[in-house]
Structure 1
C-alpha cells in the first residue's frame, strides 16, 4: 500500500479502487466453474497430455516429447502454453484448476498494465486505475478459456513494461531476466512473437543510444538477444515448420478487418499522433510502439500471414495497446495542468463506464454467457436414451465428449452409458493436413448412412466440421438419431 498511498486522503480512493478490482475479479472467477470445454479447449487439454483432439478414447498419456509432437501437428500455436499446461495439469485435471492457469495470466496482465501506466505517466494513481483497461477485453473470455490468449495478453503488457523498465537503467541482470521472461511469452502465440519483435527493436535501439562504449553496448545487446533468438529458432523447428512452413492462410480467419470499427480505430490513432507536441517523452515512445505494432500487422494481415483485427480474442493485443495508448495520451495532456483529487475519481468512473459499456460485459457476471456449447447437458440427455445402440461422435464435439467422460464431471457415470465401448469416433486428420483442405465430410456421411437403425450421433450441424445426413433426425440439441 505504501507504493501508492502518499497521504491519508488517498486511503478512501485506493480502498474503493481495490474493492472494484476484487469485485470484478470475483465476477470473472465465476467462469472458472464452467464444466464444458469447447473444441479448441478440449484439443488444447489433450495436447498438454501428449495426445490430440482425435486420439482414441482412453489413450495413455504421453510425456513432454509427445506434447511437442501433438502441438506441432494438432495446433497452430508455438506450444509454450501446451508445455505449461502439461505440468500444471499434473496437480489436477479438475476444470476449475485447469482454467485457473489462464486466470493467473489475466491477473498478471492487470498487474503489468498498472506498472506500465504508472511508469509511463509517472503517476501512481492513474497507474492504479489503468489496470481496469484489461477488463473490457473479457468479451473474448481470455481470463478463463483454456487457450493461450490470456498468456498472450500478459506478454503484451509485460513486454511494453520492459521497454520503459530498461530505459530507467540498463544492467546485465535486467537484460537477461527480461529477455528470458519475454522469450517465455513469445511461445504463447505467433502474434505475440511478432509483437515481441517490435519491442526488441525498440529495446536494442535504446541500448545503442546509451552513453557507454561500443563494446559494452554490443555485449548488452547480445545478452538480451540470445535467449530470444534461441527461443525463436526452437519455435520454428519444433512447431512452425511443421504446422505451416509456407505461411499459407486459413480460410476461417479474417486477416484484415475492414468494418467501421476498424476505421474508427485508425481515426483515433491519427488523432493520437496529432497530439504529439503536447506529449511527454514516455508517451511518445508508447505511441511509436503502438503505431509500429499496428502498421506491421496491417501488412501481415494484408498478405495473409497473421491477422490484424480488433474483435474477439485475436484482437485482444491490439485493443489492449489501443486502450493503454489512448488512456496515457489523454492523461499526459491533463497532467500538464493542475489536477485535484476529484480528477482521479472522474477517470476512475470513466474506466468503470468503459467496462460496463463494452458488449457482453455482463457475461463476466453470468457464468458462460455466450459460451459455445453445453456438452455436459447433451451427455446427460444421452443417459435417458437407448443404451444398446452405437453412438457416433462428430469431429466438433468429440474432444469435449472425451474430456467430460475421461477427466470431467461425468467421469463416474461413463461406464453406465457404455463409454467408451459403444462410442465411435468419426475419422479425422491432423491440423497440418487441414492446410491441404482434406475433407472428411463425405466419408462421415457414408459411415452414418450405413449405421444401424436407431444409432445416435452427437454432432453440431452448425459446425463446418460436421455434416448430418438426412437419414438422421434431430432428437434434442446436438443429438441425432437414425430413422
Structure 2
C-alpha cells in the first residue's frame, strides 16, 4: 500500500514537472507573430500599422480598432487592455493572461476526467497530455482569445455533464450567464452556443413541461445570451463583416479536402456511434449528446459556407470532440490507466507536426528573428525593409518588447522601412520602390507572389524569410 502511494506521488510530481517545463517554454518566448502583435496593438488602442511610438489609446479606441482590425467579438481585447495597464513591457506577463485561461481549461479537464473515472493518475496523465498535444499546447501562451474560448467550452461541457440531470432554472441561468461571458472570446464560441442551445431546447422538450414552464425555463437561459449577442452584433459584427461574406477557410461545401480532415472524420465517427447508442437504447451521456448537436451545427454551417470546419477555426468543436472521444474510448473502457494513456500519447505523437521543443510557438518563425538579431548588428546595412506582415512584430519588439533597450543603437525607426497593408495601392511601398540593403519578407506575405523576388536570395538554405539583394 505504501509503495503504491509513493508511486502515485512520484508520478504526480513528474506530471507537474512536465507541465511546468512546457508552460515556461510557452511563456518565455519573446517573439510575437502577426496576429499576436496585432492583438497587442489593438489592446493598446492602436492597430497593426499605427505610427511608430504612437501614444496608447483608451477603451473606446480599443473597441474601435477591434472593429476594423480583428475578427473576434473583442472581449479578449478589452481584458488585455486592462491587463496591460498593470505591465505592458514584459512579454512574459503579456502571455500570462492567455496562459491563465489555459490553466483554467486544463484544471477543468483534470476535474472532469477524475470525476468520470475516479482515478487520479489517469486524470493527471490526460491533463499533462494537453501540454504536449500541439493543438492545445500551441495556444498555451498565444496572445489571442483561443484559450479564453477553450476555457469556456470545457466549463460548459463540465456543467452539462455533471449538473444537468434536471435543467432547473438555477442551472439554466448559470449556463446562460457563463455562455454569455465567453461569447465575447471568439465567434467560433457563438457557433458552439447554437449547438448548446439546441441541446437545452431538446432537453426541456424531453421533460414534457407545460408551455408556460417551458417558456420560463428558456427565458432564464436565453435572456443573458440574447442581450450579449445583440451587443456584439451592433457594436462589432455589423462593422467587421457588413456584407456577411465567408472567410477564406476550409468549408465542407467548397473543398473535398475538408471531408478528409481528422476533425471531420473523427467527428463523424463519434456522431455515428452516438446515434447507434440511441438506436440500441444505450444510455447516452449528456456530453455525448451535446457533442452530436454541436457537430451537426458546425457541419451545416460549413456546408452553407457560413463558418469553417478546421481545427484552429473551429476550436470549440475540437475541444468538444476531444472530450467526447477520450470519454468514450479511454474513460469507460476497463483497461489499465497506463496502457490507455500510453496509447493516447502514441496517437498524439503520430499526428504531431510541431517538435516538442517548439510547442507554444505556433506560427512564430523564431529562426527568422534569431537571424535578424545577428543581421541588425551589421552597421554597413543602412536600410532594412520590413514587409507588412512583420511590421507590427518589429514595432512591438522595439517599442515594448525584447529589443526596446536597443532601439537607439539599432537605429530604430529611421533605419527601417516599415511596409503597411492597405487597400489603396498608392499607400503601399513595394520592395523594388525603395533602396534597401536587406529585405525581410515573410513566407506569409501576399506580395511575395505579386512581386518578382528574383533579385533576392535567401540568407541560407534553411530560411525562406530574410532575403538579401545580390
Q: TM-score range by the shorter chain?
A: 0.7 to 0.9
Q: 1:26 to 1:400 in 2, by over 3 A?
A: same
TM-score by length of 2: 0.84
Q: CA deviation at 1:48?
A: 1.0
Are 1:15 and 2:9 an aligned pair? yes
SS in structure 2 of the partner of residue 424 of structure 1: strand
Aligned counterparts of 1:136 and 1:244: Cα–Cα separation in 2? 36
- Cα gap change, 1:137 to 1:68, in 2 (>3 Å): farther
Number of matched residues? Answer: 455
| Runs of 5+ unmatched residues, structure 2 | 253-257
Matches within 5 A, 1:29-44: 29=23, 30-44=25-39
CA shift for structure 1 position 160: 1.3
2:92 matches 1:99: no
Partner of 2:343: 350
* SS of the residue 1:255 aligns to: coil
Deviation at 1:405, TM superposition (A): 0.3
1:266 aligned partner: 268
Label 1:416 to 1:356 Cα distance change in 2 as closer, same or farther (>3 A). Answer: same
Residue 463 of structure 1 corresponds to 445
TM-score (norm 1): 0.82
Q: Distance in 1 between matches of 2:467 and 2:52?
A: 21
Structure 1 gaps, min length 5: 1-6, 430-437
Structure 1 residues 356 and 13, CA gap change in structure 2 (3 angstroms):
farther
Q: Alpha-carbon deviation of 1:176?
A: 3.6
Q: In 1, distance between residues paired with 2:359 and 2:195?
A: 37
Out of 150, 160, 172, which is 1:163 matched to?
Answer: 160
1:47–1:71 contact (8 Å) kept in structure 2: yes
Cα 1:456/1:364, change in 2 over 3 Å: closer
1:182 aligns with 2:179: yes
Match of 2:396 among 388, 397, 403: 403
**2:50: which partner in 1?**
55
Deviates more, 1:383-392 or 1:150-159: 383-392
Post-superposition Cα deviations, 1:272-296, rounded to whole Å, max 9, x if no partner, equal 543446786452x322221221221
Distance in 2 between residues matched to 1:474 and 1:9, nearest whole Å: 62
Structure 2 CA distance, aligned partners of 1:10 and 1:276?
40
Which residue of structure 2 lines up, in the alignment, with residue 449 of structure 1?
432
Q: Which residue of 1 aligns with 2:320?
A: 321
Deviation at 1:63, TM superposition (A): 1.3
Work out whether residues 98 and 143 of structure 2, in 8 Å CA contact, stay in contact via their aligned partners in 1.
yes
Change in 2 beyond 3 A, CA 1:301/1:133: farther
The answer to whether the 8 Å contact 2:22/2:131 transfers is no
CA distance, structure 2, for counterparts of residue 372 and residue 174 of structure 1: 45
Distance 1:195 1:265, change over 3 A: closer
Cα 1:86–1:355 change in 2 (3 A) is same
Q: Which residue of 2 aligns with 1:85?
A: 80
Go from structure 1 to structure 2 and tell me whether the alpha carbon gap of 1:235 and 1:183 turns closer, same or farther (over 3 Å shift): same
Say yes or no: does 1:24 pair with 2:25: no
SS in structure 2 of the partner of residue 392 of structure 1: strand
C-alpha distance in structure 1 between counterparts of 2:455 and 2:376, whole Å:
19
> What is the deviation of 1:15?
2.9
